[in-house]
């Protein structure tokens, strides 16, 4: 049973990251062109921290769906979720994978607002049976939303594995890997900004 790997990343997050990075670079360049090296040393760290924070929150997150697992990359940690560990898939606030010991929300796949229902077409509601709650679907389940697109792709493969009784054979545990480099970089920039402001 082959599954084409797919990575889900929010377009808005990447656009926002680029815009903020350009603003931060412009602000830093302003200090250089003005010859204000003292101001750059004192306040430049905050611009770098702002850009780094936005990149960590909105550029880096993704949901990668492969034949072996679902990998949820959030700002500070990455979750590796084997298919057999998934018990339920929800989209109330964001794509959320429920396992026996963890509830994993995907930063990269937020749910749409309630007003999305007024813009849905017939193709946006062609979701799997397990997506329907009391016969209806949530706005976050619609294929017009980022959470709905990711959830639908995951549900379709998960249901195939379930129907073929292959989920119970996958006993691998869920693992979480912290983004140590990101945490250290953000902490270091924050400390540099505090020290710079104290000069």
Domain shared by 16 and 89, yes or no:
no
Domain shared by 75 and 48, yes or no:
no
**38 in any annotated domain:** yes
**3 in any annotated domain:** no
**169 in any annotated domain:** yes
* Residue pLDDT, tens place only, 62-97: 999 999 999 999 999 999 999 999 999 988 888 999
Question: Cα-flanking dihedrals φ and ψ of residue 76, to 5°?
Answer: -110, -10
Domain shared by 106 and 189, yes or no:
no
Which domain range does residue 150 map to?
63-177
pTM (two decimals): 0.83
Domain shared by 69 and 150, yes or no:
yes
* Residue pLDDT, tens place only, 30-53: 999 998 888 898 999 999 999 999
**4 in any annotated domain:** no
Domain shared by 173 and 191, yes or no:
no
Half-sphere exposure in the Cβ direction for 175 (13 Å, CA) = 7
Domain count for the chain: 2
């Amino acid at each position: 049973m082959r599954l084409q790997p797919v990575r889900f990343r929010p377009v808005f997050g990447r656009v926002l990251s680029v815009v903020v990075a350009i603003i931060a670079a412009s602000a830093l360049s302003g200090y250089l062109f003005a010859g204000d090296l003292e101001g750059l040393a004192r306040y430049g760290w905050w611009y770098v921290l702002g850009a780094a924070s936005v990149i960590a929150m909105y550029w880096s997150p993704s949901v990668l769906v492969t034949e072996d697992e679902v990998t949820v990359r959030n700002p500070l940690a990455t979750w590796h979720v084997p298919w057999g560990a998934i018990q339920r898939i929800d989209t109330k606030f964001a794509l959320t994978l429920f396992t026996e010991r963890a509830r994993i929300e995907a930063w990269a796949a937020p749910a749409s607002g309630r007003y999305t229902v007024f813009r849905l077409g017939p193709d946006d509601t062609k979701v799997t049976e397990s997506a329907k709650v009391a016969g209806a679907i949530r706005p976050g389940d619609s294929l017009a939303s980022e959470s709905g697109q990711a959830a639908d792709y995951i549900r379709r493969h998960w249901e195939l594995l379930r129907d073929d009784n292959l989920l119970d054979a996958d006993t691998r545990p869920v693992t979480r890997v912290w983004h140590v480099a990101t945490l250290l970089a953000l902490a270091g920039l924050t400390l540099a900004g505090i020290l710079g402001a104290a000069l």
